[in-house]
Structure 1
Amino acid sequence: MGKEGRVTAHQIAAMLGVSQPTVSRALRGDKKVNEATRARIVALATELNYSVDHNALRLRTQQTNSIALVILCRRGENKANINPFYLSLLGCIAASASERGYNLIISFQDSPANFFANYTGSRQADGLIVIGSGQNVKGWQFFGEYARHETPMICWGASKEDLISIKSDNVQGARLAIDHLLHKGCTRIAYIGPTNSEQPQFQDRLTTYMAEMAARNMQLICPPLPENAVREDQGYAAVKGLIRDKVEFDGLFCANDFIALGAMRALDESNVTVGQDVRVIGFDGIATGAYAQPPLTTIEQDYVQAGEMLVEALIAVFKGDSPNITPVPVKLLSRGSA
């Protein structure tokens, strides 16, 4: 036994004929440890009432075995109204971190009053993942500046060039959406989304739409969105504007699902039958879309793979390796709206 009769990881390792690092990894839940070996270690540790001394572990390894996850919100946004895409991504990041033996510290930030990135300097976490609203320009600027301090950081869809970022295959997703609308007979397809956003996902979706329309000599229809409005209200206002101005259209490619839901509400109020008179496609694959009337056709992003890639990329940065930032796959979910 160790001090005061306390069993040590070295003693458990000797009793089972494995190395001490294997015992430590097994008790952290590291999936790289063989499941049968992990079960033997956990069983013996439980029998001997052994628990990991996390303070000693941090001092010895200079690691916290924690990851910080920052969710950037729009300023003053009610946290209950956050885009469920980010909440789904949060869940997958949490599951991926847990599988790899990391705790997750979650922070919702929306303004300079609560911006914080110094998780590594304060020894709260080994690095951070940043996701959230592109409408919080000051937030992305803050984390862009902080990245220069060599803080281990991975982002989702960031516009700042000095941030290492992962995003979905937005180009392929936009092509799938346009091809589907064309296949359904649409000849006047409008893009409903930001046209001057710094967010790369919106840039990619817009430029792909424009390229696909140009390749077919089809008219571009890109109505303006009201600034500083929630996405659903932006979609609603943009489509109301098209109807008011008597712009003819029979298909809508919406930059995200909330914009699409707002667009569908505007069509319904104007007695336009969604799925027949006008076909609508969104982007993200949020669960809410399945319960719209009619259910929303959308480009679904692979949340599970996105969560795994974000965590794996951050771990690679910890180790000084090059992170994998290839685009995350997408697929078309065909439903009643198109």
Structure 2
Amino acid sequence: MTPARLGANRRGMGKEGRITAHQIAAMLGVSQPTVSRALRGDKKVNEDTRARIVALANELNYSVDHNALRLRTQQTFSIALVILCRRGENKANINPFYLSLLGCIAASASERGYNLIVSFQDSPANFFANYTGSRQSDGLIVIGSGQNVEGWQYFGEYARHNTPMICWGASKEDLVSIKSDNAMGTRLAMDHLRTKGCRNIAYIGPMNSEQPQFQDRINTYMAVTQELGLPVICPTLPENAVREDQGYAAVKALLRDKTNFDGLFCANDFIALGALRALDEAGIAVGKDVHVIGFDGIATGAYAQPPLTTIEQDYYKAGEMLVEALIALLKGKTPDTTPVPVRLLLRESA
């Protein structure tokens, strides 16, 4: 910037001669709110305009006074993210699906000028939801295990206090929730298994779950088997076991009972990994004698033996929609809860 251009705009500088957002706005011929939104990373600001504002702010060593911004707007520009774990679960063993979703939520929040506060909760001893009342955040996103029934009940009750809250696959009807297109994913899996010649496809997953995604998957499985005239094969899962052990035990039960099956549709990838282990121990060739498909698209599936075919959820889109939905609530608007897209990710297990 030339000395003349800077000197011509010194009027309106802040205390101690510091440059202000008003002055940057005047230099670039935009409004002061546009400067503020651009420097918060608001994607609604035109990309070229945002780039010009950021470049000039960096040149002038200008940064937003966040304390002043919070006082002026009465917003924290922070989002609280609660990850519900199974009671007593080792945090190193959390389903990587939720860690991938966490990363995408964090990226999406950052792109929109929000900080993220992350909390792992597993029991009444550490349940906490009053982030807005304590002025720690403007709103709340809740994701995590459907096996933590107490946790979902707690946040379901708290939602009645009109706290801005968005959930991933929540089991409570009074919680605003986003989920993947589970029905489409199930049909993609079943259609692919049929193209592989499978006539006896077992569903390995919860039959009566607090998590609506599992109910969507079992309901669609039942509908497809009826439409195609296929037998319904749904082994019982051991309660309170981790998902891998549930998949392992279910397949062991099928083999013990000499149930005829040539395809497995597993309600999530961890269940599928347990199923693969049981099939391997029985000497059954996966991808040849039995075809296996999981659901979620966790990275671990690529390293299974054989690599796991799965229904992959769009993690980035999910994170983006959760953050956008919460921001819509904060603005008094109706959030978009359209199901998140899924796709069939082909590998060697089916």
Please classify the TM superposition score into its range, dividing by the shorter chain length. over 0.9
The answer on 1:173 being equivalent to 2:164 is no
Other-structure match for 2:9: none
Structure 2 letter corresponding to 1:287: A
2:96 equivalent to 1:89: no
Which residue is 2:47 aligned to?
35
Could you tell me which of 106, 109, 113 is aligned with 2:118?
106
C-alpha contact (below 8 Å) 2:269/2:298 kept by paired residues = yes
Given residue 16 of structure 1, which amino acid in structure 2 is its aligned partner?
A: L
**Offset, 1:64:** 0.9
2:230 corresponds to which residue?
Answer: 218
Letter in 2 for 1:150: N
Q: Aligned partners of 1:55 and 1:103: how far apart in 2?
A: 14
- Residue 277 of structure 1 aligns to a residue whose secondary structure is coil
* Counterpart residue type for residue 208 of structure 1: T
Partner of 1:333: 345
Q: CA deviation at 1:156?
A: 0.6
Q: Contact 2:244 / 2:271 at 8 angstroms: preserved in 1? A: yes
Match of 1:150 in 2: 162
In 2, Cα distance between the equivalents of 1:206 and 1:36?
48
Distance 1:46 1:301 in 2: 38
Which position in structure 1 is the counterpart of 2:87?
75
1:51 matched to 2:52: no
TM-score of the superposed pair, with normalisation by structure 2: 0.94
Question: Is 1:298 the counterpart of 2:310 in the alignment?
Answer: yes
TM-score under structure 1 length normalisation: 0.97
Q: Distance in 1 between matches of 2:235 and 2:284?
A: 18
Q: CA–CA distance in 2 between the matches of 1:145 and 1:196?
A: 22
- Distance apart, 1:261 and its partner CA: 0.5
**Which letter maps to 1:282?**
G
What is the distance in 1 between the residues matched to 2:43 and 2:214?
Answer: 36
Q: After the TM superposition, which residues 121-160 of structure 1 pair with which residues of structure 2 at under 5 Å, given as runs?
A: 121-160=133-172
Instruction: Decide which of 15, 29, 39 is 1:17's aligned counterpart.
Output: 29
In 1: Cα distance, 2:189 partner to 2:206 partner: 17
Which of 242, 251, 259 is 2:271 aligned to? Answer: 259
Aligned amino acid, residue 124 of structure 2: P
The answer to whether structure 1 residue 270 and structure 2 residue 271 are counterparts is no
Aligned partner of residue 241 in structure 1, secondary structure: helix
The structural deviation recorded for 1:207 is 0.9
Q: CA deviation at 1:6?
A: 3.1
What is the aligned length? Answer: 338
In 2, the alpha carbon distance for the partners of 1:70 and 1:243 equals 40
Secondary structure of the structure 1 residue equivalent to 2:232: coil
State the partner residue of 1:186: 198
Partner SS state of residue 234, structure 1? helix
RMSD, aligned CA: 1.2
Q: What SS class does the counterpart of residue 347 from structure 2 fall into? A: coil
Q: 1:248 aligns with which of 236, 249, 260?
A: 260
Structure 1 gaps, min length 5: none
Given that residues 86 and 148 in structure 2 are in contact (C-alpha distance below 8 angstroms), is that contact kept between their aligned partners in structure 1? Answer: yes
CA–CA distance in 2 between the matches of 1:335 and 1:6?
Answer: 58
- Report Cα offsets for 1:93-140 as digits up to 9, x if no partner: 111111111111111111111111111111111101111100010010
Cα distance in 2 for residues equivalent to 1:31 and 1:83: 31
In structure 1, distance between residues paired with 2:263 and 2:87: 33
Query: What is the letter of the counterpart of residue 5 of structure 1?
Result: G
Displacement of 1:329: 1.1
CA positional deviation for 1:73? 0.7
| One-letter amino acid matched to 1:94 | A
Question: Which residue does the alignment assign to 2:3?
Answer: none
**Identity of aligned pairs, percent?**
84
Deviations 1:309-338 (A, max 9, x none): 111111111111111101111111121111
The AA in structure 2 aligned to 1:36 is D
CA contact (8 A) 2:264 2:292 kept: yes
1:76 is paired with a residue of what secondary structure? Answer: coil
**1-side partners of 2:54 and 2:231: how far apart?**
64
Structure 2, unaligned runs of 5 or more: 1-12
- Classify the secondary structure of the residue corresponding to 2:213: helix
Q: Which moved more, 1:217-226 or 1:318-327?
A: 217-226
In structure 2, the partner of 1:307 is 319
For 2:30 and 2:349, the matched residues in 1 are separated by 58
Alpha-carbon distance change, 18 to 224 in structure 1, aligned in 2, over 3 angstroms: same
